[in-house]
Amino acid sequence: MSRPRYCQRAFTLIELLVVIAIIALLAAMMLPALRNAREKGRQIACVANLHHLGIAVQMYADDHGGRFPYLTWQTEYLQFTLLEQYIGNFGFYRCPAAKPGDEGASFPALQCTTIDGTTWCTDYKINDQAGVAGQPIAGFRDLTWLVTAVDLDYGLERHYGGNNLVFLDGHVEWKTYDQYRDPATARDPYFNAPWYNWGQ
């Protein structure tokens, strides 16, 4: 008695090409979603960094007569030493979405400093406006509008066409460049513009 023969059918070239085309199509559909998810994760990490920075500024004010830290546009790097006891991890000063050529390290004389042999640069700009820097917090009109720090003061937007701002009351908001930087459109409820004049 002979055993039945089982024949195995192989994929034809056309079927193989169809399968490859389907896989390529699915991959092409998934890549933008994965890219968006990665960018959203970077934005969330940036929000957390700025929130931490905002809390550090509040704690600094509590320990220094209720005054905002004193920085000038040429001395943004001083935030490392002024806030060192409140921010132990200097990684909080780095925006995860920052690219070479962004603010931060591209202005080393203004935003970088060396501590214990390591050079650190901040991607965040603490409000250094003359009416804010070193001033008593009690004298500000509206802490919900007074910006503590901004993700990027000028140039390209880092997060979906905008950037993150942390306010002195601790909340963080995403705004477009026109909403926080353009003097013609970036106004608070008291008609102050742009972001560094808000809340006064």
Residue-wise pLDDT for 55-67, tens only, equals 999 999 999 999 9
pLDDT confidence of residue 43: 86
pLDDT confidence of residue 67: 97
CB 200 within 8 A of CB 79: no
CB 85 within 8 A of CB 45: no
pLDDT in tens, 76-86: 999 999 999 99
Phi then psi for residue 74, to 5 deg, are -85, -10
pLDDT confidence of residue 2: 57
pTM reported for the whole predicted model: 0.81
SS3 helix, strand, coil % of the chain, rounded to 5? 40, 15, 45
pLDDT confidence of residue 34: 63
CA distances from 20 to 11, 30, 36, 110, 145 (A): 12, 15, 25, 52, 54
Does 7 have pLDDT greater than 60?
no
pLDDT above 90 as % of the chain: 56
> Which is more confidently placed, 34 or 148?
148
pLDDT in tens, 117-167: 999 989 899 999 999 999 999 999 999 999 999 987 766 778 888 899 999
Q: Which of 18-27, 163-172, 177-186 has the highest mean pLDDT?
A: 163-172
pLDDT confidence of residue 65: 97
Does 100 have pLDDT greater than 90?
no
DSSP SS3 for 92: helix
Mean pLDDT of the chain: 87
Residue type, 178: D
- The residues near 177 (Cβ < 8 Å, ≥ 6 apart) are 157, 161, 162, 163
Averaged pLDDT, 25-32:
70
Alpha-carbon torsion angle 175, 157, 60, 79, nearest 10:
-160
Half-sphere exposure of 39 (CA within 13 A, CB side): 14
Does 51 have pLDDT greater than 60?
yes
A 10 A CB-CB count for 122 gives 26
127 class by beta-carbon count within 10 Å (0-12 exposed, 13-18 middle, 19+ buried)? buried
Does 74 have pLDDT greater than 80?
yes
A 10 A CB-CB count for 143 gives 15
Averaged pLDDT, 166-177:
94
pLDDT confidence of residue 164: 94
